Amino acid sequence: MLDPRFKLDWCEPDNYQKFEEMLLLDVQQEQKSSETVIEDISPPRKIAKRENFFSFMETSSPARKRHQSGPGKIITEVEAYLNEPCIYKDEDALNYWSRNSISSPILSILAEKYLSIPCTSALVERLFSVAGNIFCPRRATMNDKTFQNLIMIKCNQ
């Protein structure tokens, strides 16, 4: 939802309300947890132009008018963001949030948190290590669902 190239294009129109409420809850939690100012940090430049991964999708989406808080009420940061049209698929989402950090400070913090790629593979390596311990030769007859459930339990205990 925080990728301005897609917003809610990926979900069914019947579910817009549910996902907007989820984003509103996340914004409220972020407001309570921190009152920090966003620094203007620009992401690294792309080295070479590659074929766009999202080339199969439309280049831009028309603006959809969603529900608003009601007449006379202030439109929230989330509603204002979701009412804007999506940006072009070849634009950088983090640059968008850098430019809009003043108008949408909480959403830009959340976008930086969720759209950033971790610079380490330690979490993945740890997951493979746990999976190797669970799926050993003496448990070779374990089915996929049981294996998935054991991994989930081990990693979320």
The reply to whether 8 falls in a domain is: no
145 shares a domain with 100: no
Evaluate if pTM is beyond 0.75: no
d(CA 4, CA 87): 6
17 shares a domain with 81: yes
63 shares a domain with 111: yes
131 shares a domain with 82: no
Let me know if 34 is exposed, middle or buried by CB neighbors in 10 A (0-12, 13-18, 19+). Answer: exposed
54 shares a domain with 38: yes
Q: Per residue in 58-76, is it b (16+ CB within 10 Å) or e — as a string? A: eeebeeeeeeeeeeeeeeb
The reply to whether 126 falls in a domain is: yes
Among 102, 134, 155, 113, CA closest to 2 = 113
Q: What is the pLDDT of residue 138?
A: 80
Q: What is the pLDDT of residue 59?
A: 53
Residue 51 structural domain: 13-115
Sequential pLDDT tens for the chain (157 residues): 888 888 888 888 888 888 888 877 777 777 777 654 444 445 555 555 555 555 655 555 444 545 444 433 335 788 888 888 888 888 888 889 889 888 888 888 888 888 887 677 787 888 888 888 888 888 778 888 998 898 888 888 7
Residue with the two structure tokens 């939802």: 1
Per 3-state DSSP, what percentage of the chain is helix, strand, and coil (rounded to 5)? 45, 0, 55
The reply to whether 4 falls in a domain is: no
96 shares a domain with 80: yes
108 shares a domain with 32: yes
59 shares a domain with 103: yes
Quick one: how far is CA 13 from the chain centroid? 19
Question: How many domains is the chain built from?
Answer: 2
52, amino acid identity? N
